[in-house]
Structure 1
Amino acid sequence: MTAALAAAAAALVLTAWYLSWRAGRLDRLHARGDTARVALDAALSRRAAAARALAADLPAEPGRLLGSAAEGAARSSGTERELAESELSRVLRKAAAEPVPGGVPPAALAEVEAAAKRVLMARSFYNNVVAMTREARARRVVRVFRLAGRAPIPEFFEMDDEPPVFPPGRRKVDSR
């Protein structure tokens, strides 16, 4: 009888430990997702700022289009942000493909290229964390024991994030 009670107590302790570990893992995944979302927002804001700076160096029409797309991306939120950021990506690629008389300052182009690459990496990292979190939340033990609590299910951030490629001839040559 004592052995059976000891075995039952041990099983109960092990089950409680496992459930606690699983809940802690979920909590860490949600925290990592929050941090990744903040990093993605920062990368998107930096890209919008770099695009606005580049727009000032472009001729009237391309500069106006790029500035408008950058403003739209900076002001948007929620689901419309994905669309606005995708539009900014398309306008950046179009601006990269069109020749500019006299070229564009290399610093502005380098900043846009670096910001676009950071957005690509930040979105990839964020979506990977979301996938891991959703996979962990889909497990039966998590659903049965409601280990996720009231935390909302994270959503993927889908956008066109192909970075623009500025040909070397687009840069303004420093004549010093």
Structure 2
Amino acid sequence: MKWEIDILQVSTIIALVLLAVAWYLSYSASRLDRLHAKVEGAVSALDAQLVRRAEATLELATSGAVDPATSLLLADSASEALERHTHQPLSHDPLDGQTFAGRESTETDLTATLRAALQQDTVDELRSEPGSDGADALSRVEASALRVQLARRFHNDAVREVRRVRAKKVVRLFRLAGHAALPQPVDFDDDLPPAVVD
């Protein structure tokens, strides 16, 4: 009789341990899935902010508020940035293959062009006429450039969190990430021109 009670107790303990392990694995897998979805959303948000920055730059270039050579440089860089897009093939996993597809260099080039075009004297001249097309366009460039910085940092924080969780032994051992690609941080120059920051 005592032997039967011991087996029952051991069976109950084993069942509870297995249940706890199953719950933990299920919780970890769903958390990882949410983190991957967060990265996907962050990539989309970053993409949208980059498009807004390029559109604002194109608006500044066509406003007539900057000299023709600067206008041409801004329009060329902004148009090139608008032509690039984030590569996201349709598949069972929305993150599979999602990369910036070499877009970093294009966005860095746009930042460099903005930095070269928006020197202190140009910014002062544009700001001297509040309400003008040039001042409004400059304001939109400033705001969109700041949102690009925030969106990129938010994306990279989300990527860092996914990579941290995926590095855990239990996640690797039980392959809780499935076949989802390991997200990569996005790195490009997004510093605001010094004249704009002042």
Identify the residue that residue 11 of structure 2 maps to in structure 1. Answer: 5
Identify the residue that residue 171 of structure 1 maps to in structure 2. Answer: none
Identify the residue that residue 129 of structure 2 maps to in structure 1. Answer: none
Identify the residue that residue 96 of structure 2 maps to in structure 1. Answer: none
Identify the residue that residue 176 of structure 2 maps to in structure 1. Answer: 147
Identify the residue that residue 112 of structure 2 maps to in structure 1. Answer: 90
The correspondence for 1:68, drawn from 57, 76, 81, is 76
Identify the residue that residue 174 of structure 1 maps to in structure 2. Answer: none
Work out the CA distance in 2 between the residues paired with 1:150 and 1:82: 25
2:81–2:106: 8 Å Cα contact kept in structure 1?
Answer: yes
User: Gaps (5+ residues) in structure 2?
Assistant: 1-6, 86-99, 127-133
Q: 1:98-149 CA deviation, whole Å, 9 max, x = no partner?
A: 644x933210110000000000000000000000001101111000000001
TM-score by length of 2: 0.80
Work out the CA distance in 2 between the residues paired with 1:53 and 1:166: 19
Identify the residue that residue 47 of structure 2 maps to in structure 1. Answer: 41
Q: What's the CA shift for 1:72? A: 1.1
Q: Is 1:51 the counterpart of 2:57 in the alignment?
A: yes
Identity of counterpart residues, as a percentage?
40
The correspondence for 1:16, drawn from 22, 26, 32, is 22
Work out the CA distance in 2 between the residues paired with 1:68 and 1:98: 22
2:142–2:196: 8 Å Cα contact kept in structure 1?
Answer: no
2:166–2:172: 8 Å Cα contact kept in structure 1?
Answer: yes
User: Gaps (5+ residues) in structure 1?
Assistant: 169-176
Work out the CA distance in 2 between the residues paired with 1:80 and 1:98: 31
Letter in 2 for 1:82: E
Q: What's the CA shift for 1:80? A: 2.2
Work out the CA distance in 1 between the residues paired with 2:196 and 2:16: 67
Q: What's the CA shift for 1:165? A: 4.1
1:51–1:112: 8 Å Cα contact kept in structure 2?
Answer: yes
TM-score by length of 1: 0.90
Q: What's the CA shift for 1:73? A: 1.1
Identify the residue that residue 189 of structure 2 maps to in structure 1. Answer: 160
Identify the residue that residue 116 of structure 1 maps to in structure 2. Answer: 145
Letter in 2 for 1:92: L
Question: Larger radius of gyration, structure 1 or 2?
Answer: 2
Paired positions, count: 168
Work out the CA distance in 1 between the residues paired with 2:60 and 2:19: 61
Q: What's the CA shift for 1:79? A: 3.3
Using a 3 Å threshold, how does the CA distance of structure 1 residues 69 and 98 change in structure 2: closer, same or farther?
A: farther
